[in-house]
């Protein structure tokens, strides 16, 4: 069901409401995590999504959102859609109801005091009172090659502000859904459906990729030769695999599996799980995050088998691959308006199926610079396109033989004041109809298109790059129970 508007203003009779929700302790993870945790919160929030609805979701460190149906949507490039969204949000009054109430009681001032406050506030992402004015969040996804994407504000959503605070946001025609959520939340743990079991019983058929393996390997060999002749320093080649299940697979359950493993305290954050547009996945790569004037990004390039990360430092091809991706961001920081830059030395990020070289860059931005504008400056980085950018784009369009769509495009969350986080859409699958057409709406999906890419240098070996992409796809194969 599409209940949204495609203009920059909602139907006049509809109003937007929010209230604070008392979530059970278990929603925030174990007592050893004083700030709460994203994944347990996400599993709790997902359990409210009705079986016939497709979740819209962003779950990871920082603000989290789990909602459904379209409350308002804004189409355009990342910058123009975010401008329309922000303009709409600025002009859309948000009525705060008393905690746990959906009635037409007079609007009350939201108070952080209504939240359970943790003892320590050491996390820089911990919410401040002003954050409550910013909860009319939008989720967006945009194509790799530029052009129009969409920012959507769900018609009803649970919002986790890291993470010991939960708000409910809804459009007035979704009050019944909001009341239902509050009733379940009050009753305690609403016993999430058991996604593990329900995914069993599907038979999967591999329908192959858009480009057959032999053709793809030949195309990549031709690309490597062109790099050896000095046409470019690096480009990123991707491939896809299309799988069809005998049973419809609920998007909600796939998301649930993607957040089944909690980030451990004191360890690096692994990934942000998302269901936005026609893609579902968990991306570890942060293009740009801004919050209260702080900027951060995480550049990933250079990959090996899990547990072998330290060996990446001894492999000149991997070190170079990372350096090129890192430089592609570093040289644009001034243009993006980032000052007081601090860049970590490359380190290892360990994910379930691969280890990566990562660089974390932080800095300051002025209030006038929003997360979408910065993201548009960086995208496409050399981690998913190449260097020089234009030549790499050309190599991709000549050799890859398929449309990426939103794969490797910016995906993320944005607040009315422009703060937000945009990741690169990696480690994800696109949902298709049985005829192979993009399906961003259905709650249950039979046909899934898995995608992955890898950085190519003159020293690359085509078969190894093919295998690396297979390992990257493992995350989604496991989430779908293909393997």
Tell whether residue 425 is a contact of ligand ISC (CB under 6 A). no
Judged by CB under 6 A, the number of residues near ligand ISC is 16
Is the Cβ of residue 45 or residue 300 nearer to ligand ISC in the bound state? Answer: 300
**Shortest distance, position 382 Cβ to ligand ISC, whole Å:** 8
Task: Indicate which single residue of 143, 405, 453, 462 sits in contact with ligand ISC (rule: CB under 6 A).
Answer: 453
Please list, in sequence order, all residues whose beta carbon lies within 8 angstroms of the beta carbon of residue 429, skipping any fewer than 6 positions away. 279, 280, 281, 448, 449, 450, 451, 476, 480
- Pinpoint the alpha helices (H) of 247-351: 251-258, 316-330
Task: Indicate which single residue of 42, 250, 418, 455 sits in contact with ligand ISC (rule: CB under 6 A).
Answer: 455
- Which residues from 325-384 bind ligand ISC, rule CB under 6 A? 356, 383-384
Q: What region, left, alpha or beta, does residue 423 occupy, with left being phi > 0 and alpha being psi -120 to 50 degrees?
A: beta
- Pinpoint the alpha helices (H) of 118-237: 175-186, 195-199, 213-228
Residue 128 to residue 435: CA distance in whole angstroms: 48
List beta partners, residue 301.
Answer: none
Task: Indicate which single residue of 19, 301, 445, 475 sits in contact with ligand ISC (rule: CB under 6 A).
Answer: 301
**Shortest distance, position 223 Cβ to ligand ISC, whole Å:** 14
What would the two tokens of residue 160 be? 């986790």
**Shortest distance, position 60 Cβ to ligand ISC, whole Å:** 16
Please, what is the end-to-end C-alpha distance for the chain in angstroms?
A: 32
The residue of the chain with the least Cβ separation from ligand ISC equals 453
Task: Indicate which single residue of 164, 275, 426, 450 sits in contact with ligand ISC (rule: CB under 6 A).
Answer: 426
State which H helix or E strand residue 286 sits in: strand 286-291
Residue 212 to residue 222: CA distance in whole angstroms: 16
Tell whether residue 300 is a contact of ligand ISC (CB under 6 A). yes
Task: Indicate which single residue of 47, 82, 303, 421 sits in contact with ligand ISC (rule: CB under 6 A).
Answer: 303
Tell whether residue 309 is a contact of ligand ISC (CB under 6 A). no
Is the Cβ of residue 370 or residue 465 nearer to ligand ISC in the bound state? Answer: 465
Among the candidate windows 90-98, 133-141, 216-224, 450-458, which touches ligand ISC by CB under 6 A? 450-458
Is the Cβ of residue 115 or residue 422 nearer to ligand ISC in the bound state? Answer: 422
List beta partners, residue 296.
Answer: 289, 362
Half-sphere exposure of 434 (CA within 13 A, CB side): 7
Is the Cβ of residue 219 or residue 373 nearer to ligand ISC in the bound state? Answer: 219
Among the candidate windows 165-173, 363-371, 430-438, 446-454, which touches ligand ISC by CB under 6 A? 446-454
Tell whether residue 236 is a contact of ligand ISC (CB under 6 A). yes
Say which DSSP state 400 is in: S
Beta-sheet pairing, 94-96 with 16-21? parallel
Tell whether residue 457 is a contact of ligand ISC (CB under 6 A). no
Residue 335 to residue 339: CA distance in whole angstroms: 10
Positions in the binding site for ligand ISC (CB under 6 A): 236, 285, 300-303, 356, 383-384, 426-427, 452-455, 472
């Amino acid at each position: 069901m599409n209940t949204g508007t495609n203009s920059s203003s909602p139907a006049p009779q509809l109003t937007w409401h929010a209230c604070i929700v008392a979530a059970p302790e278990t929603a925030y993870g174990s007592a050893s995590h004083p700030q709460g945790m994203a994944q347990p919160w996400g599993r709790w929030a997902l359990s409210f999504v009705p079986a016939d609805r497709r979740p819209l979701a962003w779950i990871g460190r920082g603000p989290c959102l789990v909602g459904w149906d379209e409350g308002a949507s804004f189409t355009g490039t990342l910058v123009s859609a975010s401008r329309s969204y922000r303009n709409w949000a600025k002009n859309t009054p948000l009525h705060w109801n008393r905690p746990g109430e959906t009635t037409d009681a007079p609007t009350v001032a939201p108070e952080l005091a209504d939240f359970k406050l943790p003892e320590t506030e050491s996390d820089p992402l911990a919410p401040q009172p002003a954050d409550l004015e910013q909860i009319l969040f939008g989720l967006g996804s945009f194509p790799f090659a530029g052009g129009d994407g969409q920012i959507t504000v769900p018609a009803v959503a649970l919002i986790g502000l890291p993470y010991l605070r939960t708000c409910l946001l809804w459009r007035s025609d979704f009050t019944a859904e909001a009341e239902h959520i509050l009733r379940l939340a009050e009753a305690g743990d609403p016993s999430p459906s058991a996604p593990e079991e329900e995914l069993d019983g599907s038979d999967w058929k591999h329908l192959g990729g858009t480009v057959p393996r032999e053709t793809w390997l030949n195309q990549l060999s031709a690309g490597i030769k062109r790099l050896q002749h000095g046409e470019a320093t690096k480009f990123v080649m991707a491939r896809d695999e299309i799988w069809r299940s005998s049973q419809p697979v609920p998007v909600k359950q796939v998301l649930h599996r993607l957040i089944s493993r909690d980030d451990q305290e004191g360890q690096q954050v692994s990934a942000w799980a998302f269901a936005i547009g026609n893609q579902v996945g968990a991306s570890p790569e942060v293009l740009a995050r801004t919050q209260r004037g702080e900027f951060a990004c995480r550049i990933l390039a250079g990959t090996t088998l899990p547990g072998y990360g330290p060996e990446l430092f001894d492999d000149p091809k991997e070190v170079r691959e990372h350096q090129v991706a890192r430089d592609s961001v570093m040289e644009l920081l001034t243009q993006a308006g980032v000052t007081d830059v601090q860049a970590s030395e490359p380190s290892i990020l360990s994910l379930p199926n691969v280890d990566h070289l990562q660089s974390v860059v932080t800095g300051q931005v002025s209030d006038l610079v929003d997360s979408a504008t910065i993201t548009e400056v960086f995208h496409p980085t050399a981690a998913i396109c190449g260097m020089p950018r234009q030549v790499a784009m050309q190599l991709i369009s000549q050799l890859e033989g398929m449309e990426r769509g939103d794969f490797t495009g910016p995906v993320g969350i944005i607040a009315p004041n422009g703060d937000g986080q945009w990741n690169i859409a990696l480690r994800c699958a696109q949902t298709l109809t049985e005829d192979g057409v993009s399906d961003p709406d259905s709650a249950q999906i039979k046909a899934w298109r898995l995608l992955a890419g890898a950085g190519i240098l003159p020293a690359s070996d085509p078969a190894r790059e093919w295998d690396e992409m297979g390992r990257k796809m493992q995350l989604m194969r496991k989430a779908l129970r293909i393997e």
